[in-house]
Amino acid sequence: MSSDPINAYFEGRAAANHTVVHGAPRLDLETYIANYHGRTQISRLIHIATHSVPLSVEAVKIAIKLLKQGSDVKCYRLAVSFLQKIAPNDPDAKPDEEWADRTTRKVAAETEKMEAALKSYKHNLIKESIRMGHEDLGNHYYASGELPNAFKSYSRMRDFCTAPKHVLDMSLQIIRVCVEQGNYMSVQSHVSKIGNLQRTPDEEEELKPKLAAAMGLANLSNSHYLDAARCFLDCPSTLGNSFNEVISANDVAVYGGLCALASMDRSTLKAEVLDNSNFRSFLELEPQIRHAISYFYTAKYSNCLQILNEYRNDYLLDIHLTRHVKWLYDIIQSKSIVQYFIPFSCVTLASMAEAFDTNETQLEKELVSMIGQGILDARIDTKNRLLVAKETDMRATVHKDTLTMARNYERAARLKLVRVNMVRAGLEVKGVKGQNHAGMPFQEGGRAIGSRPPGFLERFT
């Protein structure tokens, strides 16, 4: 165990299989965190502090400074205790007990005052006042870090909403809290609720980017990368800073670009990403993502993977992306290898390793894994160091397809002959409206009560 407190802490994190980023990221911390507003700033700083060795102290000190401007005493104490672990001699590692006690008393007094006012509103049965009382209490709980109570207060507004605008505001506030909690099932539920409400054109223009971004985060959290990509690609460029309590425009570019790379083929990337005039404005904020997608489309896979690897540390420090980085990168690399191998019947491992800027041993392990999972239809010639495509007998395939088509045609012809013979024999009875040919009433789905099971005519073939 290292004698340095910060190294000792991260050695323990690594031993517990947590993600630890040792290299310096390319992002500037202050510029990065300025893209956000509200509690997400604190959450992202704490995430960076607990995952990045070089940025740990700086991130937690900025978080402590921001926390002292708010009223979340519990989070402040946790941040200070964390700083004491990694930098015990830092001046900020000593908690400001006077501020903590004063803020705790202030929060308690405001909570008591708001609860008393809400009780009075309920006694007077004034719906609008009760709704606003729950909203004020929810905002108060959210600011002081009591997210479960904030969720309850916002949810209780529903019974007192008298206009669609009130339901919209309530749902957006709940979405904000649920994203902070990681409760993405509720996020999807409230996005759907908003989608079912009648909205004015102005409200539609304001809400569409927020709803697309929120649904994209929910799909990303569930590892539904194609659905997430579609949501982020459909997000209007008017998002700007309007939803920076949850997500920034830069995040839309990164999340959408990586999910698209992992889930779409080259032609779809060209049509829906590179040629998407709406999403292009997001890509201008993160040019490395645009370059990576362009390189993948033009079959320059090594350049694409090189760019992604250069920004890997940045994405590992993103609070929403961190647990998906490995899977996304593995999927993109596997797709690159498959696309590279399509034109060849065989290729040397040495030339592939050079094309993907890796060594043969690592590449061979990757190829073995892909072949085992059925991702790559090929064999490895270990003697000659070749990757060989499996030969397919095209003549046998054509013969098989032709025989299948002939059998299907013969079966269809026999069924038609049976039908014609039944009509000739007078076995068909025309029923009145609402009945089948046997005079029996239809059940839901078109089946008749007491009718024969489907497929009985096949017995005649």
Supply the mean pLDDT for the chain: 85
Give the model's pLDDT for residue 437.
46
Residue 455: pLDDT above 60? no
Q: How many whole angstroms separate alpha carbon 111 and alpha carbon 243?
A: 27
In a domain, 316, yes or no: no
Looking at residue 378, which CATH number applies to its domain? Answer: 1.10.10.10
More confident residue, 2 or 406: 406
Spell out the residues 6+ positions from residue 36 whose beta carbon is closer than 8 angstroms to its own.
44, 244, 245, 248
Across 68-79, average pLDDT: 92
Residues 358 and 442 in one domain: no
* 342-392 pLDDT, tens digit each: 777 788 888 887 777 777 787 788 888 888 877 777 787 777 777 777 765
Q: How many whole angstroms separate alpha carbon 89 and alpha carbon 411?
A: 85
In a domain, 83, yes or no: yes
In a domain, 440, yes or no: yes
Residues 10 and 79 in one domain: yes
Do 39 and 150 meet the contact criterion of CB atoms below 8 Å apart? no
* 223-268 pLDDT, tens digit each: 999 999 999 999 998 888 889 999 999 999 999 999 999 999 888 9
Give the model's pLDDT for residue 211.
93
* 148-176 pLDDT, tens digit each: 999 999 999 888 888 888 888 899 999 99
Residues 373 and 440 in one domain: no
- Of 38, 64, 95, the residue that ends a domain is 95
Residue 299: pLDDT above 50? yes
Residue 298: pLDDT above 60? yes
Angle between helices 39-49 and 56-67 (to 10 degrees): 150
Do 360 and 371 meet the contact criterion of CB atoms below 8 Å apart? no
Predicted confidence band at 439 (pLDDT cuts at 50, 70, 90)? very low
Across 428-442, average pLDDT: 51
Predicted confidence band at 430 (pLDDT cuts at 50, 70, 90)? low
Give the model's pLDDT for residue 339.
83
Residues 7 and 62 in one domain: yes
More confident residue, 356 or 32: 32
In a domain, 377, yes or no: yes
Q: What percent of the chain has pLDDT over 70?
A: 91
The tokens for 388 are 């060989």
Across 442-451, average pLDDT: 43
Residues 383 and 434 in one domain: no
Q: How many whole angstroms separate alpha carbon 122 and alpha carbon 44?
A: 38
Give the model's pLDDT for residue 461.
42
More confident residue, 43 or 366: 43
Tally of domains within the chain: 3
Give the model's pLDDT for residue 431.
55
Give the model's pLDDT for residue 391.
64
Show the domain range for 13.
1-95
In a domain, 457, yes or no: yes
Across 34-39, average pLDDT: 91
Across 135-157, average pLDDT: 92
Residue 2: pLDDT above 60? no
Residue 33: pLDDT above 80? yes
Predicted confidence band at 194 (pLDDT cuts at 50, 70, 90)? confident
Residues 1 and 85 in one domain: yes
More confident residue, 371 or 147: 147
In a domain, 443, yes or no: yes
Residues 5 and 83 in one domain: yes
Q: How many whole angstroms separate alpha carbon 50 and alpha carbon 44?
A: 10
Do 95 and 83 meet the contact criterion of CB atoms below 8 Å apart? no
Do 218 and 186 meet the contact criterion of CB atoms below 8 Å apart? no
Predicted confidence band at 421 (pLDDT cuts at 50, 70, 90)? confident
Residue 319: pLDDT above 90? yes
Do 90 and 61 meet the contact criterion of CB atoms below 8 Å apart? yes
- Of 95, 130, 155, the residue that ends a domain is 95
Pairing of strands 346-348, 386-389: antiparallel
Give the model's pLDDT for residue 232.
95
In a domain, 459, yes or no: yes
Give the model's pLDDT for residue 428.
65
Q: How many whole angstroms separate alpha carbon 99 and alpha carbon 72?
A: 11
Lowest mean pLDDT among 48-52, 125-129, 180-184, 234-238: 125-129
Which contiguous run of DSSP H or E holds residue 379? strand 378-381
Angle at 145 between CA 243 and CA 135, to 5 degrees: 65
CB atoms within 10 A of CB 254: 23
* 320-336 pLDDT, tens digit each: 999 999 999 989 988 88
In a domain, 85, yes or no: yes
Q: Supply the DSSP string of 253-298, one letter for each residue.
A: HHHHHHHHHHH--HHHHIIIIIT-HHHHHHHTTSHHHHHHHHHHHT
Residues 3 and 88 in one domain: yes
Closest CA to 307 of 322, 317, 295: 295
Question: 357 vs 92, 135, 297, 300, 327, CA distance in Å?
Answer: 45, 55, 18, 12, 20
Do 64 and 91 meet the contact criterion of CB atoms below 8 Å apart? no
Give the model's pLDDT for residue 100.
93
